[in-house]
Amino acid sequence: MTIKEVCERYNIAAGTLRYYERVGVIPAVKRTKGGVRDYDEEAIRWVESAIFMRSAGVPIEMLVEYMRLFREGNDTLRARRDLLEQVRTDVNAKLESYRKTLRRLDYKISRYDEAIKTGVLTWDKAAIPEEEP
């Protein structure tokens, strides 16, 4: 699969793919005799993994570290697992932040719904969901 096909399939920029390869987020992609990148199934799995991890908010540096550990082999299983555990903790923290934001938005929308019915916008400070610390 060419870089153009990968970009279209995953809605990712060619520059991003080249960057991922250059910094070690994905292994070096095989090339044709003409020097064109040729993404095989293994390379595609790495691209999918990188996209997945980035969508979870994983920093590039962490992805590079994960790849470094992966290349070192099974002696790094615990370190890789710990890295993923850290990612999960970070994602859970973001989810909780989004939940708090969603509660506040729901409250505000409910007040506007009521104002549309009554013609009066009111706020009940005691009913406002907690704010972020």
The model's pLDDT over 12-46, given as tens digits with 9 standing for 90+, comes to 999 999 999 999 999 999 999 999 999 999 999 99
Q: Quick one: how far is CA 104 from the chain centroid?
A: 24
Q: Tell me: pLDDT of 133 over 70.
A: no
What's the predicted TM-score (pTM) here? 0.73
SS percent in the chain: helix, strand, coil, step 5: 70, 0, 30
Task: Read off the pLDDT of residues 69-108 as tens digits, 9 standing for 90 and up.
Answer: 999 999 999 999 999 999 999 999 999 999 999 999 999 9
CA distance 101 to 33: 53
